[in-house]
A and B are shown apart, each in its own frame.
Chain A
Amino acid sequence: MYQYLLVILEKGAVPFCHYSNPYYHAPGPPIFMPLAQLEEIIRYALDKSLSINFLYGKHRLPPEYENLIDTISHVKMVPLCLHGIYPDGILVLDAGDCEAFAGIEKDSGRNLILRVEPFDLAQLALVVEALQGGFKRLNIHLVGIEHFTEKDLDLYEKQLQKISTMLQQNYHEGTETEINVMTDRLLLKQMNNCDAGIQHLTIAPNGKVYICPGFYYDDEEKALGVWDQGPELVSVNLQLLSIQCAPICSHCDAFHCKRCVYLNQMTTMEINVPSKEQCLIAHTEREASRKMLNKLRDIKPLDRLTAIACLSYQDPFDVVAQPIGDSAIATAGSSASLDVGTSLDQIYEMQKQILRKLEAK
């Protein structure tokens, strides 16, 4: 059952994850979600005991919206330009925002989201260093990973090594800082993915319901259904969002991976199959976490954490995929061939059993 709703208050809302929003920097007046619709959503959420994550754009909301939002337990996700207006919000930063961020008061209890474009990768560790002391938890989201090259991946690995060194120093100094791509895997014993469409749904200003904002901004027609006093979902095959229906991820132990179903759809055309890039990035992070944990064994209570196994692969696809040219597919489903010496009596007995089963039905 859904745990929370994600409500896009403004069409030009800040993109906070792997997707992009072409309207974020667009000029012109804001297109807010209609107030009546917001009222309905909040009423529904209160009734179902759901919390709401509100996504803000660059514009301050009208007072009637703010009053309404304050009636429910919620999280605000806001761009840096609104930090003064909504100080309780989770700030969504681009790597380029860091200079401006340095100018605001540091709050070591704050949660931050940092979106990193490929061209900012080389600066990632420096950016994280600059943000240090200004957050309790930092979520790093790489943007454009569908275009990641081997060179980008090498660069990312090196940046993670530097971040690892910073974190190790923090731990040794008694500061527990969380950075999702480095520390989440240390504690996880099972998948802890984004779970869009399973744990949460997104409602857009157009009154439609989406798996996540990525689908809305990619194509408004990719809705699961409409909001009509609740989510009226018309889409089917939603079981494919679950880990059980994910042929690669269900065999994987990069538990911290976002397993972004939006990126899955964009890159492989299947919502339950990740791209090579997504898997390689998750395993680069997993490996960086593994190495970091090995170096933190002398610190209590980190010494009690389960060791992360060393893997022989970087992409679980290589373990799961059936090799091309494997003729096993031709006989799959026809069940195992019988030995040539199988007697006709055996076949006869087997067929009698089959007939009994069919008759019983």
Chain B
Amino acid sequence: MIDMAGTRLKNIENMAIGDPESSWQSGHAKTITFIVTEACQLRCGYCYIVGKNETNKMTFTVAKTTVDYILRNKKLFDEKSVIWDFIGGEPLLEIELIDKICDHIKRQMYELDHPWFNSYRFSFSTNGLLYCSEKVQRFIKKNLHHLSISISIDGTKEKHDAQRVFPDGRGSYDAVVKNFPLWMQQFPGAGTKATVSHEDLPFLKDSVVHLWEMGLKNVTINLVNEDVWEPGDDVLYEEQLKQLADYIVDHGLFSTHNCSFFSKTIGRPIDINEDGNWCGAGKMLAVDGNGTFYPCIRFAPFSMKHKPARVIGNCFDGLDHNKMRPFLVLNRTMQSPPQCLACEVASGCSWCQGNNYDLAQTDTIFQRAIYSCEMHKARVRANAYFWTKLSHKIN
């Protein structure tokens, strides 16, 4: 069990709980996502990638053309820092290609005297199955000081294996967890991004605690964006979060551990002066194996259930600025229905732009899906319960 922190706090400045996870360069870096493969060893129940396949893989020529286009167009990509993000499918399946791409990126940034040479990261979200392989380890050692690697684990074995399974239905928990010690040794501050879906809601509280017990003090955990919720899920969700709140307060974990479900700021009316978009689609750039550009991976063909992919250019002809415009002017007001704009507990209610587009009644990004409304309200209630309980405990 985790020891109680035993800290008595009047102010929240030294409290770990309730703050969003800090991101590299405070989120100001440009993210370029390479979809290096559409293959994956797993068939996770909640995965948004509906078109997994073994055939669509990026070639080095496409990757090189993309890198060269981006680095040579400094005015278009004028952020001070960059995150070169590799995703799939499972990106580590293509580690040799990625190694070659990263070498090219480093060489080109140096030769072009690009400002990003001094401010870049290579980032991976992986299922972790290949983490300890020789090729992956060789890559990690070569690029260690510029690497961020997040291994996806959803919590307890029961919860993880309920969703994250091999094609034959076997759970992947054991195969992933055995690679954890080396990962945590190499990336001590790393966190995981866990996902919660309908089937595994009952394991939510135990899963967060389990991840903390594994040494991951900062747990970022989200509900899936898709419409998987059934009547009663909001009640179950609230119960689980309240149990988690009890656990945190009773064990004094609020000053040492964090879980993204609890926030100091959610559940308020939206400030009319904050009319930005929740999502960064369009500000980031995703490129697939053909060199086609998308506003993010969620607009690529293999993420679409109902709609055509949303293309914003390609590595050969460059960005189509007109196709980018809607993403850069999209705001909360223009895409939200009246009940969301009038909602008194709206802050923190999130959405995925790609999912909104895929579910919209017409081919638009200006229609927000609102089926997670009750789940958000459940979280707001549990969040209020947590802070109330914490306040009583401390005072």
A interface with B by C-beta (< 8 Å): 146, 235-237, 240, 245, 247-248, 267-277, 317, 320-322, 324-338, 340-345, 347-348, 350-352, 354-355, 357-358
- Give the residues in chain A near B280, CB-CB below 8 Å: 329-330
The complex places the Cα of A268 from the Cα of B278 at a distance, in Å, of 21
Chain A residues in 8 Å Cβ range of B364 = 237, 240, 270-271
Q: Contacts of A337 on B, CB cut-off 8 Å?
A: 264-265
Closest partner residue, chain B, to A274 (CB atom): B325
Q: Closest 10 CB pairs between A and B? A: A332-B276, A327-B27, A335-B347, A351-B384, A348-B391, A325-B79, A247-B329, A340-B13, A270-B326, A321-B328
Q: Is B137 an interface residue (CB 8 A)?
A: no
Tell whether A334 pairs with B347 under 8 Å between CB atoms, given A325-B79, A341-B11, A355-B381.
Answer: yes
Check if A333 sits within 8 Å of B274, measured CB to CB. Answer: yes
One digit per residue, 1 when the CB lies within 8 angstroms of any chain A CB and 0 when it does not, for chain B 26-70 equals: 111110000000000000000000000000000000000000000
Contact of A325 with B28 in the complex, beta carbons under 8 Å = yes
Residues of A within 8 A of B279 (CB): 329
Q: Is B268 an interface residue (CB 8 A)?
A: yes
Task: Contact check, B276 vs A334: say whether CB atoms are below 8 A apart.
Answer: no
Across the interface, B366 reaches (CB within 8 A) one of A270, A335, A350, namely A270
Interface pair A321/B30, CB less than 8 Å apart: no
Q: Contacts A341-B11, A355-B384 given; indicate if A333 touches B322 (C-beta within 8 A).
A: no
Give, as a whole number of angstroms, the nearest-CB distance from A252 to chain B: 12
Beyond A267-B322, A324-B328, A351-B387, whether A333 also contacts B346 by CB under 8 A is yes
B276 in contact with A344 (CB, 8 Å)? no
Q: Mark B84-102, 1 if CB is under 8 A from A, else 0.
A: 0000000000000000000
B344 at the binding interface (Cβ < 8 Å): yes
Interface size class of B (residues with CB under 8 A): 35 or more
Q: Which residues of A contact B264 (CB under 8 A)?
A: 337-338, 342, 347
Q: Which residues of A contact B10 (CB under 8 A)?
A: 343-344
Q: Which residues of chain A are near B330, meaning CB under 8 Å?
A: 247
Segment at the interface with A among B155-163, B177-185, B355-363 = B355-363
Docked complex: B380-395 residues within 8 A CB-CB of A: 380-381, 383-384, 387-388, 390-391, 394-395
Of A236, A273, A343, A351, which one neighbours B329 at CB under 8 angstroms? A273
Instruction: Report if B350 contacts A (CB, 8 A).
Output: yes
Q: Could you tell me if B329 and A342 are in contact, using CB atoms closer than 8 angstroms?
A: no
The chain A residue sitting closest to B349, CB to CB, is: A333
Contacts of B30 in A (CB 8 A): 324-325
**Interface CB pairs A-B, < 8 A, 5:** A235-B362, A273-B325, A276-B321, A354-B345, A358-B377
A344 touches B390 (CB 8 A): yes
**Minimum distance in angstroms from B237 CB to a CB of chain A:** 14
Pairwise interchain contact B9-A344, C-beta atoms closer than 8 A: yes
CB-CB nearest in chain B for A240? B366
Contacts of B347 in A (CB 8 A): 333-335
In the complex formed, the residue of B with least CB distance to A235 is: B362
Residue of B nearest to A338 (CB): B264
A195 to chain B, nearest CB (A): 18
On chain A, the residues within 8 Å of B283 by CB distance are 322, 324-326, 329
B235 at the interface (CB under 8 A from A): no
Cβ distance B52 to chain A, nearest Cβ, rounded Å? 26
Interchain nearest-CB distance for B83 vs A (Å): 11
Across the interface, which residues of B come within 8 angstroms of A330, CB to CB? 23, 27, 280
Q: Is the CB of B334 within 8 A of A344?
A: no
User: In whole angstroms, how far apart are the Cα atoms of A287 and B62 in the complex?
Assistant: 43
Quote the shortest CB–CB distance from A295 to chain B (angstroms): 34
A15 to B151, CA, bound (A): 58
CB-CB under 8 A from B348, the residues of chain A are 333-335
CA distance A350 to B80 in the complex (A): 37
Q: Are the C-beta atoms of B326 and A350 separated by less than 8 Å?
A: no
Interface residues in B261-295 (C-beta closer than 8 Å to A): 263-268, 270-271, 274-280, 282-283
Verify A350–B268 contact, CB threshold 8 A.
Answer: yes
Contacts of A322 in B (CB 8 A): 276-277, 283, 328-329
Residues of A within 8 A of B323 (CB): 268-269
**Residue numbers in B under 8 Å from A235 (CB-CB):** 362
Contact B384 A338 (CB under 8 A): no
A350 and chain B: residue at smallest CB distance: B268
